[in-house]
Amino acid sequence: MIDLHSHILPGMDDGAPDWNHALEMARMAAADGIRAMVCTPHCVAGIFENRREAVLEAVEQLRTRLGDARIPLEVHAGSELRMDPDLGERIESGQFLTLNDTGRYALIELPPEMIPPHLENVFWDLGSRGVTPIIAHPERHPRLMHDPEPLYRWVESGALTQITAASLTGRFGSRVRRFSVRLLEHRLAHILATDSHGPHARTPNLSSAYMEARAILGETAAMEMIESIPRQVLEGKLASLPRPIPFRERARRRSFFGRLSSLFCGTCG
């Protein structure tokens, strides 16, 4: 498995506080079957100013320590970028990191509680610079939980989404879990990642969520979410993605099959 979202780099944000915690997280990830992990510290103006050079240097240090400790985990540099109007410019100028520094995919988190009015302009700007946005954990965003239609629109215009493993296994509550399942069913979830923050809470576990995804979508589609799509992102290649299913179309399909079944099974109701 490949984990595209983790806060394993120590002292850079609210993730691992020191190297001991970081190595403990790496051991847990490797034991879970994760072979590669992208280190994605938060990048939020005025709070976590994690510039490209600093992240690259920290990843290099982690790589050395993993080798010394003989932990079989491949690590790559990235960041979790807060949605800002000048994101494209700051990526292109080399201030901010894309995933694995390929310049092709940017992991982006929305501000909590609101959808910025400039969002679609930023996505368009990123697209014109050859950068595809990956929306981090939309399943936990209250505005999208209330109305997921914008997410469908963004995915239709080329954005990818990353669902957090613990959302699908229920750690964030039943409402988040139900919405995560709904996004999977509508093929609006492309990547499963841990968004791990430590070895005790929000841990680097991906296998349990994979099992959940497999039960919902089947083995091939679930594997795509933890291996082939993340690998294509890691390599900076164009990912082949499933077509999303509009919310209304699913509702229509259900009502059609509902009518059909009542036609053939009068007592079924």
Residue 131 phi, psi (nearest 5): -110, 125
- Which one, 32 or 195, has the nearer CB to Fe ion? 195
Cβ at position 31, least distance to Fe ion in Å = 21
Alpha carbon 138 to chain centroid distance?
9
- Which one, 135 or 217, has the nearer CB to Fe ion? 135
- Which one, 48 or 247, has the nearer CB to Fe ion? 48
Residues 177-206, one symbol each (x = binds Fe ion by CB under 5 A, - = not), give ------------------x-----------
> Residue 3, interface with Fe ion (CB under 5 A)?
no
The residue sitting closest to Fe ion, measured at its beta carbon, is 195
Please choose, out of 19-27, 80-88, 96-104, 175-183, the segment that lies near Fe ion by the rule CB under 5 A: 80-88
Alpha carbon 213 to chain centroid distance?
14
Cβ at position 14, least distance to Fe ion in Å = 9
Which of residues 3, 13, 24, 80 is near Fe ion by CB under 5 A? Answer: 80
Cβ at position 136, least distance to Fe ion in Å = 6
HSE at residue 8, side-chain half, CA atoms within 13 A, is 34
- Which one, 42 or 104, has the nearer CB to Fe ion? 42
- Which one, 180 or 217, has the nearer CB to Fe ion? 180
Report the amino acid identity of residue 23: L
Cβ at position 7, least distance to Fe ion in Å = 6
- The residue count for binding Fe ion (CB under 5 A) is 2
Q: Where are the beta strands (DSSP E) in the chain?
A: 2-6, 36-39, 42-43, 74-77, 80-82, 105-109, 132-136, 160-164, 191-193
Q: What does the radius of gyration of the chain's CA atoms come to, in whole angstroms?
A: 19
Cβ at position 156, least distance to Fe ion in Å = 25
Please choose, out of 73-81, 154-162, 185-193, 254-262, the segment that lies near Fe ion by the rule CB under 5 A: 73-81
Using DSSP bridges, classify how beta strands 36-39 and 191-193 pair: parallel, antiparallel or unpaired: unpaired
- Which one, 5 or 244, has the nearer CB to Fe ion? 5
Which DSSP category does 35 fall into? -
- The helix (run of H) or strand (run of E) holding residue 36 is strand 36-39
Q: Are 191 and 163 in contact (CB under 8 A)?
A: yes
Cβ at position 164, least distance to Fe ion in Å = 8
Dihedral angle computed from the Cα positions of residues 7, 9, 12 and 18, in that order, rounded to the nearest 10 degrees: 110
- Which one, 40 or 132, has the nearer CB to Fe ion? 40
Which residues lie closer than 8 Å to 172 by C-beta, 6 or more apart?
A: 140, 164, 166
User: How many angstroms separate the CA atoms of 178 and 155, rounded?
Assistant: 20
As separate numbers, helices (DSSP H) first and strands (DSSP E) second, the chain gives 12, 9
**Chain positions contacting Fe ion, by CB under 5 A:** 80, 195
